[in-house]
Amino acid sequence: MAKKAKDRKQVLGEIKNIASDVYKKIMKKKAPEITMPLRSLSNVKYSDKVGFFELIGKMKSRTLTANTIKSFAQTLLLMNESKRLARIGDTESKREAYYVSKNWGDARFDSDDEAFTVMDDVEAMLQVNREQMGFIPEEKGGAVAGKLVVIDGKDKIDCTKFGSGAYSIPSSVEHLEFKTNAKFVLVVETSALFQRLNNHKYWDKANCIIVAMGGVPTRSTRRFIRRLADDKKMPVYVFTDGDPYGYLNIYRTLKVGSGNAAHINEFFCVPQAKFLGVTPADIEHYKLPTHPLKDVDIKRLKDGIKNDPFVKHHKDWEKALQKMSKMKKRAEQQAFAAHSLNYVIDVYLQEKLKNPKTWLP
């Protein structure tokens, strides 16, 4: 848990080592090869003790052949760009890095997707995160409001003082410190619900901190919640839509990480998170208005039961997903508005917080 991320000096060193290996191989007329962990659900395992998706060791490699010469060159050039940034102590956005490649002649990236794929590969290869390579996302993370003071260098930011607005999580959160007496962190999927809670100062009544993810949480949002929860020993409760996407993509990713970015799960997941709702049982119990499951939803449920190491580990989740399959229904967070606009604050959250038995792991 306390393991620290590598600093940029170490990143520089590793880039040099890999580059010199490649150079030596070429001088000896041997085919150079760069290896990196394979990132997919098939290459991770889950256990409660560790608390996040761990890599199980499958590797993929990038070799230098006639067919792969371009992506091989791009990999080295991007590492070089990272090295340059580390040396001058600067950062650039992912997209800026893509445009820098336009100076690489024939090796330039043809699309931004292509650039980001290679960037992810380099990141996995070095076992660091993108920010330490000097590449930062253009957009910020989620929104925060409530009983929290964020200490960002000389600035002390009081998250109760944003009125109807909120504190916006920066792209790098490693240097932040926290001061709080709140009892828990409530993480919600949509900005709409966040605004409802914030406008009614729910965090004041419940003595908590609220965070909006806005769909799948960005890395900085995940890291922010993790650091806050670790530092202040706070429980984290998650509130998403009652659908396969909310369970398997949003909650699962926040708590234990993803297959796609398996190499950084250790730092970017929140193992202490608990799932408050909306559970399939809630949909029945609170008589929520529902939508029928689409074919893709059913497929996603089946797939989750079959392939997701996290679901396979937790029978409770397996049962919940099967229950949803049988109900053939899903419900959004906003569905509580059918009872009354503030039902979610006055009834639902109060009842759920008192009944840990209704949560999911």
Give the residue numbers marked as catalytic: 99
Structure tokens at 332: 């959004």
Q: CA–CA separation, 36 vs 118, rounded Å?
A: 11
303 binding DNA? (CB under 7 A): yes
Number of chain positions touching DNA (CB under 7 A): 47
- Applying CB under 7 A, among 10, 40, 160, 342 the residue interacting with DNA is 40
Q: Which of 48, 127, 36, 57 is nearest to 309 (CA)?
A: 48
State the nearest-atom distance from the C-beta of 351 to DNA, in Å: 23
- Applying CB under 7 A, among 132, 180, 198, 218 the residue interacting with DNA is 218
CB-nearer residue toward DNA: 98 or 286? 98
Q: Which of 6, 71, 344, 97 is nearest to 202 (CA)?
A: 344
Structure tokens at 197: 């809670």
- Applying CB under 7 A, among 112, 174, 284, 346 the residue interacting with DNA is 112
Structure tokens at 233: 């020993």
- Restricting to residues 80-99, name those near DNA by CB under 7 A: 93-95
Q: Which of 321, 228, 233, 224 is nearest to 279 (CA)?
A: 321
Using CB atoms within 10 Å of the CB of residue 139, give its burial: 0 to 12 exposed, 13 to 18 middle, 19+ buried.
Answer: exposed
- Applying CB under 7 A, among 50, 216, 327, 347 the residue interacting with DNA is 216
Structure tokens at 298: 């059913």
Q: Provide the b/e sequence for 298-316 (b: ≥16 CB within 10 Å).
A: eebbeebbeebbbbeebee
314 binding DNA? (CB under 7 A): no
- Applying CB under 7 A, among 65, 103, 164, 181 the residue interacting with DNA is 65
Q: CA–CA separation, 269 vs 54, rounded Å?
A: 11
CB-nearer residue toward DNA: 54 or 189? 189
Q: CA–CA separation, 36 vs 229, rounded Å?
A: 31
- Applying CB under 7 A, among 67, 103, 164, 181 the residue interacting with DNA is 67
CB-nearer residue toward DNA: 198 or 218? 218
Binding piece for DNA, criterion CB under 7 A, among 8-16, 174-182, 183-191, 277-285: 183-191
Asked if residue 166 lies in contact with residue 211, where contact means CB atoms within 8 angstroms, the answer is: no
State the nearest-atom distance from the C-beta of 269 to DNA, in Å: 10
Count of beta carbons in the 10 Å neighbourhood of residue 2? 4
258 binding DNA? (CB under 7 A): yes
CB-nearer residue toward DNA: 59 or 338? 59
332 binding DNA? (CB under 7 A): yes
CB-nearer residue toward DNA: 146 or 257? 257
Binding piece for DNA, criterion CB under 7 A, among 99-107, 134-142, 159-167, 178-186: 134-142
Give the torsion through C-alpha atoms of 247, 252, 254, 256, to 10 deg: 160
Binding piece for DNA, criterion CB under 7 A, among 7-15, 64-72, 270-278, 347-355: 64-72
CB-nearer residue toward DNA: 229 or 308? 308
State the nearest-atom distance from the C-beta of 225 to DNA, in Å: 14
How do 155-158 and 149-152 pair as beta strands?
A: antiparallel
CB-nearer residue toward DNA: 103 or 111? 111
190 binding DNA? (CB under 7 A): yes
Q: Which of 16, 3, 43, 2 is nearest to 263 (CA)?
A: 43
The three-state secondary structure class of 256 is helix
Q: CA–CA separation, 118 vs 103, rounded Å?
A: 17
* Interface with DNA (CB under 7 A): 38, 40-41, 58-62, 65, 67-68, 71, 93-95, 112, 114, 117, 121, 137-139, 189-192, 212, 214-216, 218-220, 241, 245, 248-249, 253, 258-261, 294, 296, 303, 307, 332
